[in-house]
Structure 1
Amino acid sequence: MTDVRVTHIGGPTTLIEVDGWRLLTDPTFDPPGRRYSFGWGTSSRKTSGPALAVADLPPVDAVLLTHDHHGDNLDTAGRALLPTADVVLTTPAGARRLGGNARGLAPWTTTRLEAPGRKTIDVTATPARHGPPLSRPVTGQVTGFALRWEGQRHGVLWISGDTVLHDGVRHVARRLDVGTALLHMGGVRFPLTGPVRYTMTAAQAVELCRLLAPRTAFPVHYEGWHHFRENREAIERRLASAPADIRDRFRWLPAGTGVDVTV
C-alpha cells in the first residue's frame, strides 16, 4: 500500500508525488485574462490563474501531457517548463511537434519511469476522444494515462485526459482496475458548434464511475475558462441525484494544497 500526494494547481494541472517521483500533468501556469485560440474558429478566455507558480514547484521528473495543442492544457509558461523535466510523455503527434525530451505513446502502449532507490512506475497511454464521433481530425490526438507501480492495493491511478465518454474510455473500465481517477470534466462546448460537447459532462462521469468503480474519483479541469459549461456547482447538483455508492466516490481537491491518497 502506497500513499500518493496529489496537489491540484488549477485546470488540468496536478502534481502527483509518489515514492520520490514528482509527476506534473498538463502544465498551465499563465495568469488569467488572455484569450486562446483552439482552432477552427473556436477560442476561450482564461478566467483564473494557478494556485502555485512555476517557482513554487519542486523539481519535476516527468510531465504527463494529455495533449500539447490546446492552451488550456499547455500554455506559454507550461511550455517553457517542459525542458526542465527528464521526460515529457504525450501523444505521438505531440511528441513530433515538441521534439526534445518528449516521448509519444500510442493508446495501450507502456513506458517505464525508472530511477535508483525508487519504485518503477509503468505509464500506459489510454484512449481519449476530445469530442463527438469523427472529431479527431479537428480536435487532434489526446491521451489518458494509467500509472502502475509495485505495492498498489486499490488499483491503478488513472488520468482521463480531455475526453467524452466513448467506447475507448469504456474499454479502460474493462481492461484496468482503477483505484483512483482524475477525471477531466466541465462539459466543454462552443457557440460555433452548438450543443456538441468536447469533454465529459457530470452525467457521463457518473456513468463512467459506475463502470470503473474506482475507490476515489477527483474532478479536475472543470472551471477557470469560459468554455466550461459545468462548474463545481453544476457537477454537485448532478451528483446529488446519483446513487450513493457512486456519489460517495467523488472527492474535491483543494486548490494548491496536497491531498494524501492511499492507493
Structure 2
Amino acid sequence: MSDDKKVIKYHLTLDPSHSKSATRDHPQPAASLPEPKHTNVHPKGSSNDENASIYFIGTATTILEWEGIRILTDPNFLHAGDHVHLGPGVTAKRVTNPAIDLHELPRIDAVLLSHYHADHFDQEVEASLRRDLPIISTPHAKSCLVDAKGDDKFTDVYDLDFFQNMLLDIKTSSAGSESKVPAIKVTGMPGKHVPDGVLGLANDLLKAVPPTNGWMIELGYKPSSSSSDEDFKSGYRIYISGDTLFVKDLEEIPKRYAGQNIDLMLIHLGGTTIPSPSVPLLMVTMDATQGIKLMQLIQPDVTIPIHYDDYDAFLSPLDDFKKAVSSAGWDDKVVYLDRADMYKFAVKQ
C-alpha cells in the first residue's frame, strides 16, 4: 500500500463558466449532452430530488454531471472495427460505437483516467484532447502523458496512488452567498490488472500491463469557500472499481470506509482476457463471479456494470452477471445502462 499520510496531495478549482472544448480542433463545445435514450433512477424508486447524473457513453467512458461541472471517465471514442493495443503482441477490436463522438462532447471540466491503456485512453483521444484539460490518473499514466510527450505534453495532470486524495473545488455563481460551497473529493483506490503471485511479479518486471487505480468520488460541500478541506462533508459516494481483479488489496476499502455509506458502484466487468477469449491465457478484469464477490465486499446501495461488451476481448457476457445478481436476490440493487442511457441521483447537503 502507498503512504497516504498526506491527506490532500493536490488542490484544483473547476470553473464551469469557462466554456472550453475538451478537444483542440473543435473550439466550440456542444451546449449539453444529448437527450438520453432512457433515464434511470434508484431501482426502489425516485426520490424526486435528483440533482446529479451519470451518462454512459460506452466501455468505461461515462460523464458525471453535478453542480454545473462535468467529469469524463476513461475516454474511449473509437468505433466498431477500430483496434487498440493492450500489450506486447495483443490487440482488441471494438465491436460497438460510442453513444456520442469525441467532437460532440459538451464542455468537460476534468478527466478521471484509471490507467494508461488504449481501451481507456485511445489514440484519437490522446491526440485530440486539449493539453490543459485537467487529468487525474496514476503515477504511471502521468509519466506517459507528461514526461514522454515532450513539447506535446499534457500540462495539468495529477497523479494519485492508492488512498491518496485531492479536493476539487467548484466555482459557482451562488458561491458568494457562502451558504455551502460544492466540492468533490477524489481518492485513489486499489486495483490490480494482473493476479497476485508469480504472474504479478513477472508483470512488475516486464511492465506488460500498466498499473491501474480504482476511485472513490465523494460529492459534497464545504461550509464556505474559506473553510478548510477538513470541513468537507460528503453527500454521495461513488466507487469506481477500475480494471481490477478481485484481489486481497480490495479488502482495505470497506475498512477505510467503515460506517460510511457507499451510494453507487460502477463496476468494470467483462472478464477481459489476453491474448483473446479464444486463447484465454490471462484474465485481467473481473468476470461475473468476481463482480458478485465485489458487491458482497463493498455493499454499495446501487451497482451499475460498465466495461462489459465493447471489445472482442471480453469472455464474461453481461447476462452472466445478470443471472448471478438474480440468484443472489439483488435485482433491486443493480441498474443496467445501455450506451446513451443516464442514471440520476440525489446528492445530500
Please indicate, yes or no, whether the TM-score normalized by the shorter chain is above 0.5.
yes
- Which of 16, 19, 35 is matched with 2:64 structurally? 16
Tell me if the contact between 1:185 and 1:222 (Cα under 8 Å) persists in the aligned partners: yes
Tell me if the contact between 2:219 and 2:234 (Cα under 8 Å) persists in the aligned partners: no
Q: Give the aligned residue type for 1:185.
A: L
Tell me if the contact between 1:188 and 1:197 (Cα under 8 Å) persists in the aligned partners: yes
Displacement of 1:123 in angstroms is 0.6
Alignment of 1:135-154 (within 5 A): 135-136=203-204, 137-150=207-220
Matched, 1:73 2:120: yes
- In structure 2, the partner of 1:200 is 286
Tell me if the contact between 2:112 and 2:135 (Cα under 8 Å) persists in the aligned partners: yes
The count of corresponding residues between Structure 1 and Structure 2 is: 260
Tell me if the contact between 1:61 and 1:85 (Cα under 8 Å) persists in the aligned partners: no
| Structure 1 residues 123 and 107: alpha-carbon distance in aligned structure 2, compared to 1, 3 A threshold | same
- In structure 1, the partner of 2:186 is 123
- Using the alignment, how far apart are the partners of 2:131 and 2:122 within structure 1? 15
| Structure 1 residues 191 and 29: alpha-carbon distance in aligned structure 2, compared to 1, 3 A threshold | closer
1:21-62 deviation per Cα after TM superposition (whole angstroms, max 9, x unaligned): 200000011222122221232221111110111233211011
- Using the alignment, how far apart are the partners of 2:89 and 2:331 within structure 1? 37
Tell me if the contact between 1:82 and 1:88 (Cα under 8 Å) persists in the aligned partners: no
1:83-130 deviation per Cα after TM superposition (whole angstroms, max 9, x unaligned): 266410000111111022211111111111113225111111111101
Alignment of 1:1-263 (within 5 A): 3-68=51-116, 70-83=117-130, 86-99=133-146, 100-117=155-172, 119-133=182-196, 134=200, 135-136=203-204, 137-150=207-220, 155-176=236-257, 177=260, 178-191=262-275, 194-242=280-328, 244=329, 246-263=330-347
| Structure 1 residues 148 and 175: alpha-carbon distance in aligned structure 2, compared to 1, 3 A threshold | same
- Using the alignment, how far apart are the partners of 1:228 and 1:190 within structure 2? 9
Tell me if the contact between 2:218 and 2:234 (Cα under 8 Å) persists in the aligned partners: no
Q: Give the aligned residue type for 2:344.
A: D
Name whichever of 225-234 and 113-122 sits farther off: 113-122
| Structure 1 residues 18 and 81: alpha-carbon distance in aligned structure 2, compared to 1, 3 A threshold | farther
- Using the alignment, how far apart are the partners of 2:235 and 2:246 within structure 1? 23
- Using the alignment, how far apart are the partners of 1:125 and 1:56 within structure 2? 29
Tell me if the contact between 1:83 and 1:101 (Cα under 8 Å) persists in the aligned partners: no
Displacement of 1:206 in angstroms is 0.9
5+ residue gaps, structure 2: 1-48, 147-154, 173-180, 222-232
Displacement of 1:153 in angstroms is 7.2
- In structure 1, the partner of 2:43 is none
- Using the alignment, how far apart are the partners of 1:214 and 1:55 within structure 2? 34
Identical-residue share of aligned pairs (%) = 27
- Using the alignment, how far apart are the partners of 1:82 and 1:184 within structure 2? 24
- In structure 1, the partner of 2:225 is none
Name whichever of 121-130 and 135-144 sits farther off: 135-144
Name whichever of 168-177 and 15-24 sits farther off: 168-177
DSSP-derived class of the 2:130 partner: helix
- In structure 1, the partner of 2:21 is none
TM-score (norm 1): 0.91
1:124-149 deviation per Cα after TM superposition (whole angstroms, max 9, x unaligned): 11111012111453312111111113
- Using the alignment, how far apart are the partners of 2:263 and 2:128 within structure 1? 29
DSSP-derived class of the 1:205 partner: helix
Tell me if the contact between 1:107 and 1:126 (Cα under 8 Å) persists in the aligned partners: yes
DSSP-derived class of the 2:336 partner: coil
Displacement of 1:233 in angstroms is 1.8
| Structure 1 residues 85 and 9: alpha-carbon distance in aligned structure 2, compared to 1, 3 A threshold | farther
1:60-85 deviation per Cα after TM superposition (whole angstroms, max 9, x unaligned): 011000012x2211112322453266
Tell me if the contact between 1:179 and 1:215 (Cα under 8 Å) persists in the aligned partners: yes
